[in-house]
Structures are given as C-alpha cells and as structure tokens.
Amino acid sequence: MKSALVVLLASLAGASPARPSTPAVRAEGAPPGPAPQRLQGAEDVKRLCRALEPVERVRAPGDAVDQGEAAHAHDLARDRAIEARYEVVVPAAKLALAPYDAVERTLSVKEPAVLAIAGGAARLWPTEARGLAVEVDAAAARRVLQAQRQGALELVLVFDLPDDATCGATPRGDRFSLGVDPVAWRWVDRGTVLARGGAGADRPLLGMDEGAWRVIHVGDAIAGGEEAKRAVLAHADELDGCYVEALRREPTLDGVLVADLAGPTPEIAADSVNDAGLAACVRQALRGAAGTKAVVPIRFALQSPEAGRN
C-alpha cells in the first residue's frame, strides 16, 4: 500500500471520497493571513529596519518636490512592511527556559524573552504571549530539553508587527532590536517538530515520517464556479508535488491556501500554512489556471495511517 494518499474533493463539504473525509489527525493551524517572509541574515534585518524608519527621520536629497515624493514612497513602503508577516529561526541552545508548569502542562521561555536572530544582528522581544508557551506533557517537555542540551534545538517563530513598529539600533547601526507580536511558534530538533504554540498549536505532530497520509481538498470556488474548480483540479499532480516538497522541510505541515486566479499570475489571497516555499510552489503550479477570475481554497492536510487504511 502506498505511504501517502491524495484525495481531491469537489468541495470541502461535498461528497465523501474513497478515504475518510474527516482525518483522524487534523488541524487548521494559523488563521488565514499573508504568507510569512523569512528573515535569515543581517541584510534582511537591516532592510526591514530601514523600511520601518519613521518618515519624519528620512532625509532625502533633492528639492522640495523630490523630498515630498521620497517621503510618500517611504510611507507606503513602511505600511507594506508593517502589514507583512515574518518568520525567523532562533538558535535555542542557550535560550533560557522557565521551569515546566506541571499543573498547566506548559513549557515557556523565561520572561522577559529576548530572541537573538541573524547571527546576533537583531534581538526580538515579544510584546504579547511573552513566554511563548507550548502545551506539552512532561515527556514531550523533556524531549525539548534534551534537544537543547545537545545543541540541536531551534525556535521557529512566525510574527506580525505592531502598528507603531520601529527598530532600535546601536550607534554604529549594525545591531537592532524590535518588538514583535507572535502568531505561531514551534520547537524543532533537526527538522522534527517537538511542540507547537500560538495559532499553530493544534497542528499534528504526527507527520509523513511516521506514515501519515497526505490529503489535498480543493474547495468550492469563492468566485468562478465549476470551471474554476476544474482548472485547479487539472493541476492536481503539481499541487501534490508541492506538498511533498514542503513535507520534506516540515513533515507535519498542513493548512489552507486560498488561490486568487483572477490576474495574469496566481496569487495567494490567504494562507494558514505559513510556509513560503509551499505558497510559491502553488503559485507556480497554478500558472496555467490564471485568468479564470476565480478564488479557490485548497486545504493541505495529514491523516493518521489508521484512518488512511479504513
């Protein structure tokens, strides 16, 4: 029997497929929103902090018209930067953890949490959910601690920015600090997700490595009707390939992408998966469906091996 199954439904609530339509392992993940941008190196951080600079601090060359146009362009760029969603990987070998709460069954970062990223180029401090708590049993908490002792623990954080976001900087402008609003976070040991918190807390830990089945649901088109669904279903193999590649990066990845096919190239109108690679791959896979004036939800999910055999 194959180790994975792809079920393409005519509707998220439509007729039952050959396999169960309600997977035993299932989660919706983060609420729909923009796909996160990965901040990796110091240059990514500097670019973001330049965009967040308050417009009144911008000193543009040229005459009064040039300066006014430059200020307007910067103001628009700052708005785009604040509206975006971001993802960072925090090396957690030396990150201080609070004592495990055996009553609430939560493991948290010791407050006030300060997260160093991009080789120390920036320090992030959560303005909400400051402890980045995850709900786990004692055994799972010990696995997190063991990964930390081995130097393999990472914290992957997806965050938004507050409306008044701005970066603090050292006099030399080579180190930055930034307050962030956490959306979802996960503890990872060499690619294996050990625990999740925030909006992604209900995502399954059981992944492809443990034999889970992958399932793709193509929902009713928000606009475009049956023609739009057929246009997406025609690219089923490409969508499956996108999911396979994404699961190699994170074996428990799931969620919903809403594809907007109205323009000359596909766009992602909403994203609860929070994986930039999957979003980019789906846009590429559906390029042949562009121009159909449709908005179509596509759900990528995992179900347990037991459910897949029923």
Using one digit for the tens of pLDDT, what is the confidence trace for 151-197? 999 999 999 999 999 999 998 888 999 999 999 999 999 878 899 89
- Shared domain for 44 and 185, answered yes or no, is yes
- Shared domain for 179 and 221, answered yes or no, is no
305: left (phi over 0), alpha (psi -120 to 50) or beta: alpha
Spatial CA neighbour of 218 closest among 273, 254, 256, 253: 256
Please provide residue 28's backbone torsions phi and psi, each rounded to the nearest 5 degrees: -90, -25
Q: Which residues of 40-74 are buried (b: 16+ CB within 10 A; e: fewer)?
A: eebebbbebbebbbeeeeeeeeeeeeeeeebeeeb
- Shared domain for 271 and 136, answered yes or no, is no
- Shared domain for 222 and 290, answered yes or no, is yes
152 belongs to a structural domain: yes
Residue at a domain's end among 198, 226, 258: 198
Per-residue pLDDT, 94: 93
- Shared domain for 239 and 214, answered yes or no, is yes
19 belongs to a structural domain: no
Amino acid making up residue 87: E
| Confidence band, pLDDT 50/70/90 cuts, at residue 17 | very low
Q: Which of 21-25, 78-82, 189-193, 222-226 shows the lowest per-residue confidence on average (mean pLDDT)?
A: 21-25
Number of compact structural domains in the chain: 2
43 belongs to a structural domain: yes
60 belongs to a structural domain: no
1 belongs to a structural domain: no
| Confidence band, pLDDT 50/70/90 cuts, at residue 203 | low
- Shared domain for 175 and 44, answered yes or no, is yes
The answer to whether residues 196 and 276 touch, using CB atoms and an 8 Å cutoff, is no
| CATH number of the domain enclosing 240 | 3.30.500
Amino acid making up residue 64: A
Going from the C-alpha of 101 to that of each of 18, 97, 187, 205, 251, the distances in angstroms are 43, 11, 17, 21, 28
CA distance 167 to 175: 10
- Shared domain for 47 and 146, answered yes or no, is yes
The answer to whether residues 151 and 142 touch, using CB atoms and an 8 Å cutoff, is no
Domain that holds residue 43: 37-52+84-198
Per-residue pLDDT, 25: 24
- Shared domain for 191 and 96, answered yes or no, is yes
187 belongs to a structural domain: yes
Per-residue pLDDT, 18: 31
Residue at a domain's end among 170, 198, 226: 198
Per-residue pLDDT, 250: 79
- Shared domain for 187 and 212, answered yes or no, is no
What average pLDDT does range 29-42 have in this prediction? 70
Residue at a domain's end among 144, 164, 198: 198
- Shared domain for 43 and 188, answered yes or no, is yes
% of the chain surpassing 70 pLDDT: 83
Q: Share the mean pLDDT of the chain.
A: 84
pLDDT digits (tens, 9 = 90+) for 41-51: 999 999 999 99
132 belongs to a structural domain: yes
- Shared domain for 45 and 185, answered yes or no, is yes
Per-residue pLDDT, 31: 40
Q: At 225, which helix (H) or strand (E)?
A: helix 225-233
Per-residue pLDDT, 109: 97
What average pLDDT does range 19-39 have in this prediction? 47
Per-residue pLDDT, 1: 30
Q: Which of 22-31, 92-101, 280-289, 294-303 shows the lowest per-residue confidence on average (mean pLDDT)?
A: 22-31
| Confidence band, pLDDT 50/70/90 cuts, at residue 91 | very high
More confidently predicted of 126 and 211: 126
- Shared domain for 118 and 149, answered yes or no, is yes
What average pLDDT does range 65-72 have in this prediction? 90
28 belongs to a structural domain: no
The answer to whether residues 56 and 121 touch, using CB atoms and an 8 Å cutoff, is no
Cis check: omega of the bond before 126, within 30 degrees of 0:
no
